[in-house]
Amino acid sequence: MTAEGLRVLFCGINPGLMSAATGHHFARPGNRFWPALHASGFTPRQLRPDEEGELLACGLGITNVVQRATARADELSAEEYREGGTLLEEKVRRLRPLWLAVVGVTAYRIAFEDRAARIGPQEREIGGARVWVLPNPSGLNAHWTPAAMAGEFGNLRAAAEADEHDADGGRSRGT
């Protein structure tokens, strides 16, 4: 789900098998993307994966670095990540979101050849968008608690709202 001029374009690593089967992002029941998105204030209620189309009304979109479905992200090659990063940069340049939020620091590091990247805002822009790296919401990433994950998503939301407010000359478009 993408469109031009989004506040934030979220970018997952690649479709898992459940997402590939259903055609919806972050579709595995244990994935914490949708709860974190809501708990951080990005959405007025917790959306289900099959409701991802509602993101557009909130100024949000969603895509992936790599389009090939796998059971686990570690099945992807570095070449696939880098190729996906190039295609993602082209997509971002075309869609012009304020922020690109890559969900998974390892995917970001490989796709954009930035070994020093950490969770949070990055120094570089990609395709003209500011970049924020978020923790991977997979249930396998257990050292990030739901509250900590929602907090990091909330930090991005606050930055995106501040940027949007500035871009509108002080008039916030809101969600």
* Residues annotated as catalytic (active site), given as ranges: 14, 25
Beta carbons within 10 angstroms of residue 44's beta carbon: 11
* CA distance readout (Å), 58 to 52, 143, 166, 168: 11, 29, 18, 16
Q: Alpha-carbon distance 47 to 38, whole Å? A: 8
β-pair type (60-64, 129-134): unpaired
Q: Which of 11, 168, 31 is nearest to 95 (CA)?
A: 11
Q: Alpha-carbon distance 92 to 4, whole Å? A: 9
